[in-house]
Amino acid sequence: MLPVGGRPASSTLHGFLTPVRLLLIEGARTLPGVLSDGRHASSSSRIKPAYLIVGGVVVVAAVVLGFTLLGGDAVGIIPGIGESPKPPTPEFAFDVTKVTPVATRNEVKHSELQADAEAAADEVTTQMDALYLGAFLDPDNWLEGSYDSVWELFESSASAEAQAQVETMTAGTGAGDAFEQILPKKGTLKMKVLFDQKERAYSVVAITRFEAVGTGTDGDDVRMTSMGQYVFQKVDGAWRVVSFKVMRNNELEATPSPSATPSGSTA
């Protein structure tokens, strides 16, 4: 049975678009256009900076807030911010002014042992350089007030005694709070090398004078002077300090007055 007009029911909407077909066609028509003219990129580029700014503010605020709630200092939580750079370790080596060999047997001349004495003195000088670098000049030590590398240069019983005199033997346990930098001024060594009955270097006495200047955190420079005698002997094949006597003195560095003039008087 045909409906009125003689057309089948399936062709009733021929020539017209249903809402669903219209939506599909419009989507197919407009999507390539959007991709081709770059409108999808422009919308995302307008959104990204906002995400980045808001995200960055949120992260920083969260870290600062969390650290504050934990009772910490927010300045030091980000590496490199609010931290003073550690000063470098300055170069230093003692100036050896004299090496004297001391023979045990009367028939042996001291001059015959000079070369062996200087060889032993060179090894002891290396140990003394390491000792004073670690005790006064290495910021890894004096900033922390810890001098473990120094005590290793002593024989065990002498090491215990040296640690008991840490304020005399080193820049001190409070050097990190007192100084911003410590630089060497001068260091001299005189050595006597004692030989045994077989003309082998047995003991070395190192007589030293060492001066360094610490730049104070309060603006004042302090001159540190160390004078002493160290007795070295071979312990397990290496020269180690077996006894010592050291004196320390600290004094403010003199600052010349701008109005000072040379004096012509003599004494």
Of residues 67 and 134, more confidently modeled = 134
* Share above pLDDT 70 across residues of the chain, in percent, rounded to a whole number: 64
- Residues 221 and 245 sit within 8 Å (Cβ to Cβ): no
Give tens-digit pLDDT for 43-55.
Answer: 444 444 444 444 5
Q: Can you tell me the distance from the alpha carbon of 101 to that of 203, in angstroms, rounded to the nearest whole number?
A: 10
Q: Which helix (H) or strand (E) holds 62?
A: helix 39-69
Q: pLDDT grade, residue 254 (50/70/90)?
A: low
Q: pLDDT grade, residue 219 (50/70/90)?
A: confident
pLDDT at residue 201, as a whole number: 97
Q: pLDDT grade, residue 69 (50/70/90)?
A: very low
- Residues 185 and 211 sit within 8 Å (Cβ to Cβ): yes
Least confident of 119-123, 190-194, 218-222: 218-222
pLDDT at residue 83, as a whole number: 61
- Residues 256 and 221 sit within 8 Å (Cβ to Cβ): no
* Residue listed under structure tokens 């081709």: 36
Q: CATH number of the domain at 95-252, out of 3.40.50.300, 3.10.450.50, 1.10.150.530, 1.10.357.10?
A: 3.10.450.50
Q: Can you tell me the distance from the alpha carbon of 206 to that of 126, in angstroms, rounded to the nearest whole number?
A: 12
Q: Can you tell me the distance from the alpha carbon of 171 to that of 179, in angstroms, rounded to the nearest whole number?
A: 10
Beta bridge partners of 61: none
Task: Name the pTM for this structure.
Answer: 0.66
- Residues 117 and 98 sit within 8 Å (Cβ to Cβ): no
Of 105, 97, 99, whose CA–CA distance to 195 is shortest? 105
